[in-house]
Amino acid sequence: MTAPTSVEALEEIVFAADSAATRWRQTPALERAAALSAIADALDASADELVPIGMRETNLPEARLRGELTRTTFQLRLFAEVITEGGYLDARIDHADPSGPWVRPGPICVGISFRSARLWCLRRATFPSRFRSLEATPPPRSPRAAVLC
C-alpha cells in the first residue's frame, strides 16, 4: 500500500489540483491534445514500474492491469486525436423536408413507460415540445422492450 497522507498534505494536494484545473481550462485545445498524448506516452514508458504497484495495491493479476493500462492510454490518445481533428466542434442543424414520404398525420409512437404502463406519443404539430400520454395495454413481457412505430 502507499504511505498514509496527513490532512495538511491532502489539503495541499487538493489546492494544487484545483489550481491546475483552472490553468488546464485556459489551455488551448491543441496543447491539451499534446498533453494527453504525452501522458499516454509516459504511462506506457512507466508500465513496468506502475503494474507491480497496482498488483500490490489491488491484488489484480498483471495481465489485467496491463490491459487496463493499455485501454487507458488508448483512450487518452483517442481523446487527443478527437481534439486535434476538431470534428466535435462542427455543429449542424439538419432541417426536415416536409415533402418527404416519412411525414404522415397523427402521433408518432416512441415508446412505453413500463413503470406506469403508458404509451408515450409525440404530436407532430408540437414536436418536440409536447408529449401526450395515452393509456396502453399492459407492457410486453420483456422489461427492456422498446416500441417505435
pLDDT of residue 77: 95
pLDDT of residue 74: 95
In DSSP terms, 113 is beta-bridged to 118
Q: Are 121 and 131 in contact (CB under 8 A)?
A: yes
Nearest 5°: CA angle at 135, between 134 and 140? 115
User: What's the pTM?
Assistant: 0.54
Low-confidence ranges of the chain (pLDDT < 50): 1, 110-149
Look at the block and give the residue holding cell 400520454: 133
Domain segments of the chain: what residues?
Answer: 7-89, 105-149
List strand residue ranges (DSSP E) for 92-144, in order. 108-113, 118-122, 131-135
